[in-house]
Amino acid sequence: MNVLRPTLLTLACLMAQPAMASDLPSLGDASSAMVSPQQEYQLGRAWLSIVRGQVSQLSDPQLKDYVESSVYRLAETSQVQDRRLEFVLLNSPQINAFAAPGGIIGVNGGLFLYAQTEGEYASVLAHELAHLSQRHFARGLEAQKRMQLPVMAAMLAGIVAAAAGAGDAGIAAIASTQAAAIQEQRRFSRQNEQEADRIGLVNLEKAGYDPRSMPSMFERLMRQYRYDRMPPEFLLTHPVSESRIADTRNRAEQFPAGGTEDSLRYQLMRARVQLTYEETPGIAAKRFRAQLDENPNMDAARYGLAIALIKGSQFDEARDVLAPLLQKAPNDITYNLAQISLDSAANRLPATEQRVTRMLDLYPNNYPLNQARIDLLLKQRKIQAAEQALNDLLKRRMKDPDVWYQVAEVRGLSGNTIGLHQARAEYFALVGDYNQAIEQLDFAKRRASNNFQLASRIDARQKELIEEKRMTEEMLRG
């Protein structure tokens, strides 16, 4: 696939350039009717599949589960009407988050690095949900009719390149775009950002967070990047000004105090991300030790040290570091998953199985725990059981390409060749490679030629993917 295909550029430029909030149509008028909610849904899924196929992602089940559950918590109190959300967790240490049409929420790993509390993290996502609830994409189409396609493509080329990790080259591409077009985009963006801030503040308070977290996040970003020649992508698409901070601060102060500012679970997930972006586990361990020396009761630092030691194969010390956390909270999922990881890495499989079984009895539908069970079954060479466990997981995560990828691998190990090709087809469809997906179902049909019912089901699914491919190409052509 071409990373910067023109159709993708056109689509994402339309998403990135919203209209003025003071001149917004009602959802029933002619302008908003240019794109219906269902069209937004389909458009968003098409865009998501392309991003998944082109940008590296974080596949950590615990991080994915945290992002999903935290956004759904915010969505429950938001103005978002269609709760069919999909998520993409990008493997980038740069701070960024975004919302795309049809309920797509994207989060860079870097958001955890920069948002020092759960309230600050939630303020960013509440802001993005507000973009969705106000349908800023549909409401910006009228403005886009005044912009020439080459200008839109050039602007998005930089945005996609930066998201994919091109860094300075992506920012340079944005900077070199026609000045007048950029000015118009920023004019529209300021109005939309202000609306998303105000709606996001209300949502934060309703969800139980302290709304003051939003201006605090903005202030930190402005301080950190005040003298930066090349600001991060988040500040290019969400420009922060003194007036914007003052507006959100004044509005936040009108809410009663007492909302949640932080949580231990967020800090544990933050430690996982910090470890991901350290150069080595040893460097991470050194930093977590320093935090513990400063504050011996800092459980997140103790947890970070434990997982850094596990990653560095220092199992005995990791066990000693982790023990006080498990003693304090013996049923905590995150701590037990760390012990499961430790025992599995040390090849203590009976202890691993005992802990996995006990935790699944307590939390039978927890995604990371179920994934830990599957990983254990594979290490025990119980391939058939692992395949069944994955089939059960698929019932809850049908749109997760990471799960389909592993399903294909396990079906291959079990000798289920037809199922292998079917799983590969679903994986390729989710990452936007419809040609490969359709080809995999051709392979499956040939293998199933003696089973009429199975071959018919495969053929029906192939026709569905062919139609999805046609619709996607048609939508992206605009």
Supply the residues annotated as catalytic: 128, 197
Q: How many CB atoms lie within 10 A of CB 79?
A: 13
* 439 has binding-site annotation: no
Q: Are 147 and 181 in contact (CB under 8 A)?
A: yes
* 238 has binding-site annotation: no
- Residue with tokens 């679903």, as numbered in its chain: 426
* 127 has binding-site annotation: yes
Q: Are 68 and 33 in contact (CB under 8 A)?
A: no
To the nearest 10 degrees (0 to 180), the angle between helices 401-414 and 417-430 is 160
**H-helix or E-strand containing 358?**
helix 349-362
Nearest to 303 by CA among 278, 331, 275: 275
Question: Length of the chain in residues, anyone?
Answer: 478
CA distance 116 to 118: 7
Q: Are 418 and 444 in contact (CB under 8 A)?
A: yes
Q: Are 138 and 35 in contact (CB under 8 A)?
A: yes
Q: How many CB atoms lie within 10 A of CB 347?
A: 9
CA distance 88 to 103: 11
CA distance 168 to 259: 39
CA distance 428 to 53: 8
Backbone angles phi, psi at 260, to 5 degrees: -65, 130
Q: Are 27 and 63 in contact (CB under 8 A)?
A: no
Which segments are annotated as binding site?
A: 127, 131, 193
Which segments are annotated as binding site for Zn(2+)?
A: 127, 131, 193
